Copies of this chain bind each other. A is one copy, B any other.
């Protein structure tokens, strides 16, 4: 028996390229945006224009935040191996793990778990508040952090948060994950004894979950947004290089201490 490999993404023959069952040249190029296509490739369903606007708002929100570890890794790898743009980009993306880019996925997943366990979606704010209160209380009892709560710089308000909520409302996509996250924002002070902001990466996770995107791939959208941001960083590095200065600054300030065997 010959092995077969099913796919519904791209294929081609001598005259035609097919993607998602569409004719790539005639039906997609010039007619479908890049964010729209990404959503479609992942879900196999063409998103509405409202969904596209919310989805692209998330990608815009996550694209770049200056000299993050991912930006530094990409620039310094480009310094070291300028012949391989793919290597610099990959090195930057490899920092997209649990600590800096993982919040989007962790928050979406946390909210989804709470909703799934509840079984029934609340129908009003009071219902979401009750669900949120139970979830925050349990997290505290288990000494766990709520993903998406708090931010090292935006200690009072992350400006992306109200804006993304506003856009979701405008597009009629203010769904249960986001409503639950907002409820967490309302109720957590009474459990934790202090008020933390809902951070933007977390709201992005809530919104992506409401869009029906696969939970196990939420981090992937943060990575795609960051890939675009890293192109911006690499273009700036080509115009105004700083990676060698970073390297020199580390090297020059190295202090040699004798090894202490463990």
Contacts and interface: CB of A to CB of B under 8 A. Distances in A.
A20 to B, nearest CB: 5
Given A33-B56, A57-B30, A223-B86, A254 B7 contact: yes
Contacts of A66: 7, 9-12, 251, 254
A233 B159 contact: no
Nearest to A30: B167
Contacts of A28: 60
Interface residues of A, number: 134
Interface string A73-97: 1001101111111111111011111
Interface of A: 2-21, 23-26, 28-30, 32-35, 37-38, 41-46, 53, 56-57, 59-61, 63-70, 72-73, 76-77, 79-91, 93-102, 153-157, 159-160, 162-164, 166-167, 170, 200, 212, 214, 216-217, 219-221, 223-225, 227-229, 231-236, 238, 240, 242-243, 245-251, 253-262
